[in-house]
Structures are given as structure tokens and as C-alpha cells.
Amino acid sequence: MLRLGVIGCGRIAQKKHTEAIIKNSDIIENVAVCDIVSERAEIFAQKITEINLKKPEIYTDYKTLLKRDDIDAVAIATESGNHYEITIEALQNNKHVLVEKPMALSTFHADEMIKLAKNKNLKLGVCFQNRFNPPIQELRRKIENNAFGKILHGVASIRWNRNKEYYQQAPWRGTWKYDGGTLMNQCTHNIDLLIWNMGSEIEEVYGVIKNFTHPYIEAEDFGGAIIKFKNGSVGIIEGTSNIYPKNLEETLSIFGERGTVVIGGLAVNKIKYWRFEGEDGHPFQNLPDPDTVYGSGHVPLYRNFYETIVKDQEPYINGEEGKKAVEAVLGIYKSSREGKAIKFPVEFSTLEML
Ligand SMILES: NC(=O)c1ccc[n+]([C@@H]2O[C@H](COP(=O)([O-])OP(=O)(O)OC[C@H]3O[C@@H](n4cnc5c(N)ncnc54)[C@H](O)[C@@H]3O)[C@@H](O)[C@H]2O)c1
């Protein structure tokens, strides 16, 4: 059994990390939970006990939790702006780390996290759980079998709605120090999927960000970008939290010489078009939308994290993979600020947007 601590017991932790722990209770024991608001840790712990699992011990100071020698790994689901600090401290205390997306808000921080995990021979996994969505796994098989031939262009569209109430629930959201805007928060999943499936490093990015309808947040509620990949292909990103009156879709489109795939639905969970020679359509065209936009990917993500620890392999989404979408968004921010295309690699932080 992997002995796990959870740090940060807010919205995503209560909705999805509890589910992942419960559904993996044959391999993971949640021995401790921590939130600076003890009631949230208590709610999380209660959920864990609902199927007769032992109640995890509650902490309000993560540093005390990290001192426990009987904890092998921690999952970190605090606000994005302190993922770096808590991850570094967890690694220093010899814990494997599964960190929520985005792993950090600065390329320097992401690099330090990756380096320390390597030096300590510990695993660093990142919660880009949509990579496990069944239609995305189907797409991945086609990419890995080279079924598209040359990939020409890909598009990540995130057309969602986030209202004032959402930002009031947690004042860190939309701040440059703790979050970034819609590209860094809501859109990083699809940006990750786009980069992963285009299969090439980024050469340069040109981006524009705007704040159209959320004057009470610092960062953007709209971002548009064009990415030039080193292999000659082009990526287009369109991300917004302004769609009236509610979430519309999150869609990933990949266009190759010999294949077309469009995966949409509320959160890249439904195949819309699936065209290859001799194939027009796919059984996943009629999948229902999941209960939330977060899907169910945390369950296989946790299982993979466990397996990589016991088999000493790299997590499916390791630190290097987790950094790519962060770097892309930071490149877009930098490009928008400077009004020109930005060459990669990028060295930037959301704090530079202040
Ligand atoms: N993977 C996904 O699909 C997904 C979805 C939503 C959010 N997220 C990410 O998860 C993170 C949390 O988002 P959320 O919406 O759950 O936020 P939230 O504000 O609901 O939860 C964050 C929790 O962390 C706690 N916290 C803050 N500092 C702490 C500390 N030092 N020690 C212990 N607890 C601390 C807060 O009290 C709060 O309960 C963000 O990074 C966000 O980007 C990921």
C-alpha cells in the first residue's frame, strides 16, 4: 500500500481526489490530510470514511504532516501559486509528489521541482488527468501508430463560463500571484493535450490575452494564440471563460495528411469526427458528458502514480510533461505583453505580469 497524505482539501480535492483514493483503496491508504481551514480537511476525511476506510489524521500545517516518516507520497491540491513551495518541501522530506495542474506559475520553479525530484530519485506526477479520457486515449493510439501521417495543424478550443460567484468562492483565482487567468487555470488541460498530440517541441508562440468581462480579476478571461512547432505544424489556441450563458465545449481537433479527429463535448470526452482511410466514425461518438468538467481521470492517474513508484518508472505525466503547457501559457503571456512572437524555450513567471 502507498501511504498518502493530501495537502489542500478544497473543491477539486473534495470532488476528485477523494474519488481517486476511494476507487484505488486496494493500493492506496490515505493516512493524513491537511488544510489551513480544518473544516475542509474534516469534510475530505469524512468522505474517505464513507466506504468504511480508516479516517485519515487531520493537520492544518503541512510542514508537520511532511515530518511523518510513515508517509510515502503527498498529493498537493492547494492554490496554484504555492504548488512550488509545498512540492519542494515535500521532496526535501523524501515524499513522492502528485501535484495539481498547473504544477507551477514560473518556468524557473517548474525546473527546480523537476531537478530536485530527479536528484532525490523521487517521482513527480502532474494532474493532467484528461490524458486518460477514453477518447483521448483512442486518439493517442492513432498518433502512436502514425495513422495521421504528417500532422498539419491542431486546435484547442475552450469555451467555458466562469462567473463572479466562482471567483468570489476563492479570492486567489484570477490573481497573477496564485493562479493566472483562464489560459493557466481552465485551459491548461487542453493546451497540454494539443502539445502532447502535435508531437513536437514548440519553436515560437504569438499570443493575445484580454480581460473582456471580469474586471474584478487581475488576469485574462480570454486568450488566443498561434504556436509554430519545430516539425513545421501549427497549433491554434482559443480559450475563454466568457461564453454566455454557461459552459459550451472543450474541443481538441487534430488534422493530419491521412486523418481527422475532433474530440469535443463539455470537456474533451466525446468524439465528434473520426476519419481515417476505411474508418468514418467511432463508438465513442455517443459517450455521455461526465458529471463535472473534471471527468474521471484522477482515478487512473492515481493508479499510474502508484505503479510508477512501485515499479520505479516515470509517471505518465511527469514534471517535464507537466511543464510544457505551463511554458506555453507563459509564452503567450509574454508575447501579449511584448506584442511580438516569443521564441522557445521561455523563461517567465506570472509575477512578471503584475
Ligand atoms: N485537475 C483539475 O481538473 C483541476 C480542477 C480544478 C482545480 N484544479 C487545481 O487544483 C488546485 C486547487 O483548486 P481548487 O479549485 O480546489 O481551489 P480551492 O480554493 O477550492 O482549494 C484549495 C485549498 O487549499 C487550501 N490551502 C491553501 N494553502 C494551504 C496550505 N498552505 N496548506 C494546506 N492547505 C492549503 C485552501 O484552504 C483550500 O481549501 C489549483 O491549483 C487548481 O488549478 C485542478
Determine which residue's CA is closest to atom 27 belonging to ligand 1.
78
CA distances from 216 to 79, 177, 234 (A): 18, 15, 34
Which residue owns the Cα nearest ligand 1 atom 41? 80
Q: Indicate the DSSP class of residue 281.
A: -
- Is the CB of residue 10 below 6 angstroms from any atom belonging to ligand 1? yes
CA 337 to chain centre: 24
CB of 34 within 6 A of ligand 1: the answer is yes
Q: Best mutation site among 78, 83, 131, 266 for ligand 1, i.e. most ligand atoms within 8 A of its Cβ?
A: 78
- What pLDDT score was predicted for residue 286? 82
Q: For 25-69, how does the pLDDT look when each residue is reduced to its tens digit (9 = 90+)? A: 999 999 999 999 999 999 999 999 998 899 999 999 999 999 999
pLDDT tens-digit readout, 294-303 = 999 999 999 9
* 354 C-beta closer than 6 A to ligand 1: no
Residue labelled with grid coordinates 493566472: 180
Q: Would you say the CB of residue 292 lies under 6 angstroms from ligand 1? A: no
Tell me the average pLDDT of the chain: 97
Cα(166) to centroid(ligand 1), Å: 13
CATH topology of domain 2-130+297-318: Rossmann fold (3.40.50)
Task: Report the greatest alpha carbon distance in the chain.
Answer: 59
pLDDT tens digits for range 208-257: 999 999 999 999 999 999 999 999 999 999 999 999 999 999 999 999 99
Architecture per CATH, 132-288+325-343: 2-Layer Sandwich (3.30)
Q: Output the CA 9–ligand 1 centroid distance in Å.
A: 7
Region of residue 278 (left: phi > 0; alpha: psi -120 to 50; beta: else): left
288 pLDDT band, cuts 50/70/90, is: confident
pTM > 0.95:
yes
Phi/psi region, residue 274 (left: phi>0; alpha: psi -120 to 50; beta: rest), is beta
The per-residue pLDDT for 126 is 99
Segment 328-340 shows an average pLDDT of 98
Residue 32: left if φ>0, alpha if ψ -120 to 50, beta else—which one?
A: beta
| Ligand 1, atom nearest to 86 Cα | 31
Q: How is the chain split into domains, by residue range?
A: 2-130+297-318, 132-288+325-343
- pLDDT-derived band at 290 (thresholds 50, 70, 90) equals confident
Task: Please give the Cα distance from 153 to 142 (Å, whole number).
Answer: 16
What is the DSSP code (8-state) at residue 282? -
Q: Which atom of ligand 1 is nearest to the CA of 34?
A: 33
Cell numbers at 12, concatenated: 477539486
pLDDT band at 287 (very low <50, low <70, confident <90, very high): confident
Ligand 1: does its nearest atom lie under 6 Å from the Cβ of 6? no
pLDDT digits (tens, 9 = 90+) for 125-137: 999 999 999 999 9
Nearest to 174 by CA among 166, 117, 82, 312: 166
C-alpha count within 13 angstroms, C-beta hemisphere, residue 148: 24
